[in-house]
Amino acid sequence: MHIFKSALVGAAFLTACSAAPASEAGTGGSPAIPVQRGEGQPFELLGSQVFDVPDPASGIVYQAYVSLPPSYAAEPDRRYPVVYVTDADYGFPVVRAIGRRMNGAGPRVEEFILVGLSYGKGEDPMASRRRDYTPTARGASDAPAGALHGQSLRYRDYLRDAVFPLIESRFRTMPERRVYIGHSYGGLLGAQILMTQPEMFSGYVLGSPSFWFDKKHLLREAPALLGKVDAINADVYMYVGEFEAQRVGDKRYQQEVDMVADNRAFTAMLRERGFAGLRFQSDVLADEDHLSVAPRGFTKGLLHTLAAVPRWD
């Protein structure tokens, strides 16, 4: 059941995000404003950077897309929280735009370093995310024959052991303030990290997690996993669209699964545990479906995990 596929295909052209070439200095010695190259050259996300980050355990090469906040160069002693977003072809440009747009009339979201987590370099996006974001080898019923699933724990460890050290050695980060954003399979991966190594992130934005995967495997395992967790000290925001509920015969809604009900079940499990350090919010966003809901959910998630506070320094 690949209900996120069309959004990914529509954003595939953004896989080549890279830093734009430096332009000539402006008149009077002032710094030049970066501009697109023109003449039919590919559009670039100006100011972004791309790093190859191989996974030593699997040999798979991934890329990390990095965007620094507007104040980064002007405040050389300042450190920043880092937001990691999965499905970077889609998530990286969207979260980057939201983070800047939200502060257009004054600070509402803390400035952050943004890291987009790419698919395997040169791989089919759906094949990569099936493999890396899912918890068991028993895949979705409509997956192609031979499709590989179930390497989410390996991918979790890759983030911890390869991506975090690279980003935190190159940039002025706050390692104690990492935020995870994922939608669909990415939300499923985030929920698994939350229940297995919650200390990896101080904030989680879990968008429409695919708890339906493998007959609700992760949802069935959740009570046992949460029972092994001593503490969750994190801001967690979970969202799902109104039309992700199941209403057979009404094409606005899901026809095979009820993701709203699954989110409510997971919400109840988290709240039942009563983790003192957990600041949790779960929303059903009206008039949204699985493909439309992410930008709105990302916005609310950033406001929950990185709400701006006055700076007096």
Indicate whether 233 belongs to any domain: yes
pLDDT in tens, 215-260: 999 999 999 999 999 999 999 999 999 999 999 999 999 889 999 9
Indicate whether 277 belongs to any domain: yes
pLDDT, mean over the chain: 90
More confident residue, 24 or 303: 303
Alpha helices for the chain (secondary structure H): 5-10, 88-101, 125-133, 152-158, 164-170, 185-196, 213-227, 259-273, 294-305
The whole-number average pLDDT for the span 178-197 is 98
The whole-number average pLDDT for the span 115-136 is 97
Indicate whether 220 belongs to any domain: yes
Tokens describing residue 50: 């791309």
CATH classification at residue 283: 3.40.50.1820
What integer pLDDT is reported at residue 73 of this predicted model? 94
Is pLDDT of 312 > 50? no
Tokens describing residue 92: 């990286």
Indicate whether 32 belongs to any domain: no
Indicate whether 19 belongs to any domain: no
Percent of the chain with pLDDT over 90: 81
The whole-number average pLDDT for the span 112-126 is 97
Indicate whether 231 belongs to any domain: yes
Number of domains the chain contains: 1
Indicate whether 90 belongs to any domain: yes
Torsion of CA 169, 170, 175, 178, to 10 degrees: -140
More confident residue, 142 or 262: 262
Whole domain around residue 77: which residue ranges?
Answer: 49-305
Indicate whether 243 belongs to any domain: yes
